[in-house]
Each structure stands twice: as C-alpha cells, then as structure tokens.
Amino acid sequence: RPLLVPVRLERARYDVQIGADMIRRAGARLAPLLPQKRVMIVTDENVAALHLPTLLAGLEETGIRHGTITVPPGEGSKTLAEYGRVTGELLAAGVERGTTVLALGGGVVGDLAGFAAATTLRGLPFVQVPTTLLSQVDSSVGGKTGINTPYGKNLLGAFHQPISVLVDTTALTTLPAREIRAGYAEILKSGLLGDADLFEWCDLHGQAVLDGDSAMQAEAIRRACAFKAAVVADDEREERKANGRALLNLGHTFGHALEAELGYDGRLLHGEGVSIGLRLAFMLSVRLGYCPQADLDRVSAHLERLDMPARISDTGEEFSAATLIRHMQRDKKMRDGRLSFVLVRGIGKAFTCRDVPDDAVAAVLRADG
C-alpha cells in the first residue's frame, strides 16, 4: 500500500502516492483519475531507457492510450527550443482538453512537461512521476513549472498543479549515489527550516535513506512532501514576502552563488550546493547571534557522519568571497542594496532577515573556504 500525502490547495486537491513499483502500477493508479483514457508521456533519454517499458506495460494493461515525447537529459532541455518541440509534438499528436501530460523523469522533465501542459490548449491535465529523489521531495508539491532563458533560470513559467503525483522508490535503485545525496539535502533542508522532528528522524535514519532502504526512503519522502505541502498550502502563489514559501530557500542563497560561479556546468549538483549552503546559513546565523553554536554543531556532525558535502572545499574548487557575494547581490533576493537571507534561530526555526551585512557573509565564507 502506498503512503499518501494529501495536498489541499485553493484550486487543486490531489494526493502524492509514495511506494515501491509505482511506475509499474501507474496505469491502475491513474485510470480512475484521468478525464480521458489517453496520456502523452514526456521523458528524457536516460529515464526512457530505464523505466519507460515498465510504465507502458502498466498503461496497456489498463487500456490507457499513450504517446511518448523524449528529450535529451539534463538542464539543457529546459529551453524555449525544447519547449517548442514538445508543445509542437503534443499538438501534432492531436491532444484534446482531456488528454493528460505525464512527466516521467527528474525535475528537468517535470518543469518542462509541466510548462507544456500548463500552456497547451490553455492547460492540459498533468501527472508527475518524478524519478530523482530531488524531484520526488521538491517538484512534486508546489505546482511550479518552467524553463530557463538567457536572462536567468526558471524565468518563463506557470503555476500548474498536477492531478496526481506517483513517487516510485524503485526508480531510485537506478539513480547514481551522488544524485541521491543531492536529493537528501532538500529533505534535510525541510527539517532544518521548520520541522525539527524531521531533522531528528533524519539523524536516526538518514544513513538508511542514503543506503537505499526503500521503506525508509518512502518515509523520508512522505515527511518532506507533507512538510512542503503545508508550507505551500499557506502561500500557494508565493505572495508572502517574509515567511511562507520564501523559507524554502534556506541554504539556497549560498548554494546558488556556488552553482552560478561554476557556470551550472555539472561540477556541482544543485543539492550539493544546498548541502553546503545549509551549513553556511547556520554559521551565518550563529555569527549574527541568532542561533546557538550547539545547533550548528549538530548540523555539521550530521553532514559529516553521512558524508554529505559540508564545506566549500568539498566542491574541490576555489572561490573568492567577493565573487560569491557579487552573485548573491545579483540574485533576486536582494532588496534595496541589502542582502536578504533565510536564517535560523535554531534547528527547525527559520526566518527571513532582510539586512545582512556583507562583511558577516564574507567572514563566514572565509571561515569555511
């Protein structure tokens, strides 16, 4: 029996269903929910080779008609060009208002397919079958879809809520260990920003999650999705300035600066930047007098014990504090010339701080670099 996370929003109600073999069972799970017994699958080449035949077998058993659109793997597919090709193929296939777009893949496929679903015929039903740990805990709740532009990441997009999300822990058996760790960083983030129980759970069971224990993975995903669902329900369209969804950026200002400095070239995965960024956010919070040193020590010990990226030097690259701060100043979280950060008063107690002095940030970066 899958674990269920109910997502209850103003304009959408759906469940995230989490368990083993969900891709094989997708046909049976979806049949009662689809407006029309027809889906258009969007996937990438890697995931198609590993998991598409399993999905197709289940769809065929339940008499759901299907077509497949495959994109190259990686962030490079979140472009206007691929969006044009995917929407073109949907229209060429003669989709109707009730035809469901099904994203089978990581966050890249989910964002691209979701944006195509949001805009084709002014909105087609959408189902997510996320296959990376990161997309299972992050993209599966929240309804954000979109693509990148030369002006920045995720700048074209829409909120488009899925009618269902199926999370398959079996898919994680083919995911590289580095990608598992990157996804785990986002689970840890949820605990550290607002769910101290989740952090305690991670401290007890995080190693099992990383080691591929599927029951523990399902439980970690359930807890992270439930936490995110509560935050999103409270701030569905990201309108609250200080709290709400903004807190989900804990660790991200630092993480984005590291990613941006490396030019998003794959040397550092997003979740790896977040893992390091979480510790830096705690260090900054201690330095500014908001957070007890003991909480920072617990976070550091946890990351170290699980062999998670924790220090800037763990990237194997060198960074200057000044360059990283320039990236942060360019980040959209900057307001009126002051750096805005999500900080903590302790584990599970995040808040937004609007005027963080540069020199405190620089000192933390130097202490860690």
Task: Examine residue 179 and tell whether it contacts ligand NAD (CB under 6 A).
Answer: yes
- Angle at alpha carbon of residue 86, lines to 71 and 265, rounded to 5°: 40
* Residue 38 or 222 having the CB closest to ligand NAD: 222
Min dist CB 337 to ligand NAD, Å, is 27
* String marking each residue 267-286 x if it binds ligand NAD according to CB under 6 A: ---x----------------
Task: Examine residue 78 and tell whether it contacts ligand NAD (CB under 6 A).
Answer: yes
Q: Which two tokens stand for residue 334?
A: 């900057």
Tell me, by CB under 6 A, how many residues bind ligand NAD. Answer: 28
The one-character DSSP state at 172 is G
d(CA 171, CA 220): 15
Q: From the list 99, 120, 132, 161, which residue makes contact with ligand NAD (rule: CB under 6 A)?
A: 132
Among the residue ranges 81-89, 134-142, 204-212, 215-223, the one whose residues contact ligand NAD (CB under 6 A): 134-142
* String marking each residue 25-54 x if it binds ligand NAD according to CB under 6 A: -------------------x-xx--x----
* Region 318-347 residues binding ligand NAD, contact defined as CB under 6 A: none
Among the residue ranges 8-16, 93-101, 169-177, 241-249, the one whose residues contact ligand NAD (CB under 6 A): 169-177
Instruction: Judge whether 95 and 34 are in contact, CB under 8 Å.
Output: no
Task: Examine residue 108 and tell whether it contacts ligand NAD (CB under 6 A).
Answer: yes
Q: Which residues contact 156 (CB under 8 A, 6 or more apart)?
A: 80, 83, 115, 146, 147, 148, 149
Do the bridges between strand 350-356 and strand 339-344 make them parallel or antiparallel, or are there none, so unpaired? antiparallel
d(CA 323, CA 190): 28
Q: What is the CA radius of gyration of the chain?
A: 20
The one-character DSSP state at 149 is E
* Residue 216 or 283 having the CB closest to ligand NAD: 216
Bridge partner list, 367? none
Min dist CB 75 to ligand NAD, Å, is 5
Q: Which two tokens stand for residue 318?
A: 């060198």
Min dist CB 167 to ligand NAD, Å, is 11
* Residue 15 or 138 having the CB closest to ligand NAD: 138
Q: Which two tokens stand for residue 197?
A: 């129980």
Task: Examine residue 142 and tell whether it contacts ligand NAD (CB under 6 A).
Answer: yes
Residue 193, SS3?
A: helix
Q: From the list 2, 40, 83, 138, which residue makes contact with ligand NAD (rule: CB under 6 A)?
A: 138
* Residue 190 or 285 having the CB closest to ligand NAD: 190
**Taking Cα atoms as reference points, which of 79, 337, 352, 125 lies closest to residue 238?**
352
Whether the CA torsion 50, 52, 58, 61 is positive or negative: it is negative
Among the residue ranges 171-179, 189-197, 232-240, 289-297, the one whose residues contact ligand NAD (CB under 6 A): 171-179
Instruction: Judge whether 193 and 250 are in contact, CB under 8 Å.
Output: yes
Closest residue to ligand NAD: CB criterion: 107
Q: From the list 2, 58, 105, 348, which residue makes contact with ligand NAD (rule: CB under 6 A)?
A: 105
Residue 168, SS3?
A: strand
Task: Examine residue 74 and tell whether it contacts ligand NAD (CB under 6 A).
Answer: yes
Task: Examine residue 175 and tell whether it contacts ligand NAD (CB under 6 A).
Answer: yes
* Residue 17 or 285 having the CB closest to ligand NAD: 17
- Rounded to an integer, what is the distance from CA 190 to the centroid of its chain? 11
129 phi, psi to nearest 5 deg: -125, 80
Instruction: Judge whether 253 and 331 are in contact, CB under 8 Å.
Output: yes
Task: Examine residue 75 and tell whether it contacts ligand NAD (CB under 6 A).
Answer: yes
Bridge partner list, 168? 19
* Residues 166/167/170/174 CA torsion (nearest 10 deg): 110
* String marking each residue 247-266 x if it binds ligand NAD according to CB under 6 A: --------------------
Q: Which residues bind ligand NAD (CB under 6 A)?
A: 44, 46-47, 50, 73-75, 78, 105-109, 111, 131-132, 134-135, 138-139, 142, 144, 154, 171, 174-175, 179, 270
